[in-house]
Structure 1
Amino acid sequence: MKYITLFLIFMILIYTLSIEKINVPFIYQLQNIDLQKIYTFYTPKFLVIDVFYLNDKDKVYLKKLQKDGTKILAYLSIGEAESYRDYWKDAWKKNPPKWLGKENKYWKGNYKVKYWYSEWKNIVFKTIDKILSYNIDGLYLDLIDSYKYWSENGYEIMFTANEMIRFLSEIKEKVNNLLIVPQNGEDIIDFDFNNLYIKSIDGIGIETLFFYKNRKLKSEKRLTYILKIQNSEKFVLVTDYIYPPNNENILKEFINLCEKYHFYGYPANKNQRLKDISLGLKYYKKYEGN
């Protein structure tokens, strides 16, 4: 039995050493995270994860990934409250605080927040304190474009945009040594009159830029904003939900477009749940050098 066990360990070691890892620009996964699997098969330049789903084994591989040069960004929604987080109080459904808005009809359990309220900011800051215990490299901040939602629901857009920019600057001030990467809402720079937004971020994450599933998108207007941000020495992470494609040329064009603009691209699964690693990553090996 002893020799069988040693043989199996030896075979596993041989198999592991024989795996050729794929260098990929970016991976974005929020559920069912297995950092050992990511470390075994991929070397991403950036990895966005929800650290609250990690276990002790994952923490070991988090360090291994960082040692190989991967920047770990922790996902955090600052424009919506999520009922599955530890800060959530069930009493809020019947007696919501002043800053809590309506449930997002597309994402059950997510509620719009008036992010300029100090009560919500304190929740975010306390959550960041918990995130910091994971020794990550930065924060990936979602729902920046909530400023547009509130401008359509009773507030002046100048106010909502300025308050979101101020919130980002406060987060940057709190964790000045970490990367700050907002997701979407790139057109907020129309209201960044004193460059506070640009000074507060290190990169930007963009969803659904070139393709949505099998449909090619008109991206020229968004690119105007994104390239302006990039030209301020910020990196750009792009997630398009395109795997599996009806036509492999979609994957090839997505990869080529990201390379053309010097973006870090992730061809995510079409279900948009970000709970599985997209097998579209294999195309980075297939189209390498094309």
Structure 2
Amino acid sequence: MENSITSKIVFTTVIVVFLFPFILNLFAIEVPQDWILYTNGPKLEELMPVKTDLVVIDYSADGTDKKAFKREDLAPLKAQGKKVFAYLNFAVAEDWRFYWKSLNKALILGPLGDWPGEYYVKYWYSEWYDVVKQYMKKITTAGFDGVVLDWINVYQHSKLQQLSGKSENGLKMAIVENLRKLIKDFPNIEYVLINGEDILIEFPEFREKVKYVLVESLFFHKAVLAINTKEFFSRLNKLTELQKYGITILSVEYIDNGNPFDSTNAERINTYVSLARKYGFRYYIARLDMKLNAVNVPRVPTRKD
């Protein structure tokens, strides 16, 4: 009797697993992505079938130097006409990177809030710029088309100001100086600034080399639409101003709960896509968990006409 029940359960499970993709296609449709942000353990084969011309990944398959990508690894993606950009933490140290063991720990100021393994660092020291320069050499040697610089806006953190004893303006100018040096040392690569619109507005010199701003959570705050705030309109005005100078805005919102039949989730996704298109931004619909550890393929229920 027990064996009979077990067999039925196994059989039913197999049938459900087999039929699920067909049921899914009947009742939910994919939402195409404008670009891809896949920085945590990227698998290049997952990017091959994606119909987009721009992907942002880590320089390594697991974040370490041991599994750093090589030119031949990126070649199939580039042969498809995809631009492949590498992520680089510009002003924050990460304890899983190639430099960590040899990094002078006197450069470390303290942990970066809710980001385990990441630390505020004295990025105004030449030793830190030397680390960034080593990193860039690895990225350019691997043949990446561009580099995506994170924590460009870390100077705004009151915690960093407290730990360093420096003013917001002093910390900002240190970011600007490092950015100037980097662009001078590596002029033949494209640059993307994450949440770096303030820098491009205040320092127009960078617009010649920085052609992208990657903006996070502009339209939503914790998956709730937030477009009626002073902060939203301030950021939006800066971003639309930069578009006039040929800057492409890469938008990402962490709003997808992964349920293809959730009407509330679908409403969030459709609203985001509509807003991004309205302002001419390229959009990426990321999962709510913010892990960025897969190519997200959002689905929404099939429309009933």
For residues 67 and 171 of structure 1, the distance between their equivalents in structure 2, rounded to whole angstroms, comes to 28
**Match for residue 278 of structure 1 among 279, 286, 296:** 296
For residues 237 and 191 of structure 1, the distance between their equivalents in structure 2, rounded to whole angstroms, comes to 20
Could you tell me whether the CA contact under 8 Å between 2:91 and 2:154 is conserved in 1? Answer: yes
Closer, same or farther in 2 for the Cα pair 1:256/1:52, shift >3 Å?
same
For residues 33 and 286 of structure 2, the distance between their equivalents in structure 1, rounded to whole angstroms, comes to 13
Matched, 1:121 2:133: no
TM-superposed CA distance for 1:58, in Å, is: 8.5
For residues 91 and 166 of structure 1, the distance between their equivalents in structure 2, rounded to whole angstroms, comes to 21
**Match for residue 86 of structure 2 among 74, 80, 90:** 74
For residues 160 and 131 of structure 1, the distance between their equivalents in structure 2, rounded to whole angstroms, comes to 26
Secondary structure (helix, strand or coil) at the match of 1:279 reads coil
Larger Rg: 2
Count of residue pairs brought into register by the alignment? 257
Secondary structure (helix, strand or coil) at the match of 2:242 reads helix
**Match for residue 171 of structure 2 among 160, 163, 172:** 160
> In the alignment, residue 112 of structure 1 is paired with which amino acid?
Y
Secondary structure (helix, strand or coil) at the match of 2:214 reads strand
Secondary structure (helix, strand or coil) at the match of 1:271 reads coil
> In the alignment, residue 188 of structure 1 is paired with which amino acid?
I
TM-superposed CA distance for 1:214, in Å, is: 2.7
TM-superposed CA distance for 1:105, in Å, is: 2.2
1:98-247 alignment runs, 5 A limit = 99-149=107-157, 150-151=160-161, 153=163, 154-189=165-200, 191-192=202-203, 195-218=204-227, 219-244=232-257, 246-247=264-265
TM-superposed CA distance for 1:211, in Å, is: 1.6
Could you tell me whether the CA contact under 8 Å between 2:59 and 2:68 is conserved in 1? Answer: no
TM-superposed CA distance for 1:116, in Å, is: 1.5
Q: Give percent identity, aligned residues only.
A: 26
Q: Which has the higher contact order (CA 8 A, sep 6+)?
A: 2
For residues 90 and 68 of structure 1, the distance between their equivalents in structure 2, rounded to whole angstroms, comes to 38
For residues 70 and 105 of structure 1, the distance between their equivalents in structure 2, rounded to whole angstroms, comes to 34
Give unpaired runs (5+ residues) of structure 1. 1-20
Which position in structure 2 is the counterpart of 1:259? 277
Mean Cα deviation higher: 253-262 or 135-144:
253-262
Task: Give TM-score, length-normalised by structure 2.
Answer: 0.76
Could you tell me whether the CA contact under 8 Å between 2:256 and 2:287 is conserved in 1? Answer: yes
Could you tell me whether the CA contact under 8 Å between 1:80 and 1:113 is conserved in 2? Answer: yes
Could you tell me whether the CA contact under 8 Å between 1:43 and 1:70 is conserved in 2? Answer: no
Give unpaired runs (5+ residues) of structure 2. 1-29
Closer, same or farther in 2 for the Cα pair 1:230/1:79, shift >3 Å?
same
CA-based RMSD of the aligned residues comes to 2.6
Regions of 4+ moved over 4 Å = 54-61
> In the alignment, residue 296 of structure 2 is paired with which amino acid?
S
> In the alignment, residue 133 of structure 1 is paired with which amino acid?
T
Secondary structure (helix, strand or coil) at the match of 1:273 reads coil
TM-superposed CA distance for 1:59, in Å, is: 5.8
For residues 176 and 241 of structure 2, the distance between their equivalents in structure 1, rounded to whole angstroms, comes to 17
For residues 208 and 224 of structure 2, the distance between their equivalents in structure 1, rounded to whole angstroms, comes to 35
TM-superposed CA distance for 1:210, in Å, is: 0.8
For residues 128 and 91 of structure 1, the distance between their equivalents in structure 2, rounded to whole angstroms, comes to 16
For residues 39 and 290 of structure 2, the distance between their equivalents in structure 1, rounded to whole angstroms, comes to 11
